[in-house]
Amino acid sequence: MRKNNFGEAIGTITSFIYLIILIAIISFMIYNAKNEVLIFQFDPTSLNLPLK
């Protein structure tokens, strides 16, 4: 019984971690979509530094 409960606890923890990761990825994608202009402004400067 104890092993079964421990396994269930691990399952719920892993599913909770996966849920957090999924939310983090979605929020990061939304954040990038909102700040697309900012990202495009920073990309040319980072690309120009090695070329010069």
pLDDT digits (tens, 9 = 90+) for 5-30: 888 888 899 999 999 999 999 888 88
DSSP for 1-42, please give it: -HHHHHHHHHHHHHHHHHHHHHHHHHHHHHHHHHTHHHHHHH
- The whole domain housing 30 covers 2-51
Q: Number of structural domains, the chain?
A: 1
Q: What is the mean pLDDT of residues 34-46?
A: 58
Residue 36 structure tokens: 């697309």
Encoded tokens for 26: 């979605």
- Average predicted confidence (pLDDT) for the chain: 74
Q: What is the pLDDT of residue 32?
A: 72
Res 1: pLDDT: 55
For residue 31, pLDDT over 70 is answered with: yes
Q: How confident is the model at residue 38 (pLDDT cuts 50, 70, 90)?
A: low
CA distance 48 to 32: 22
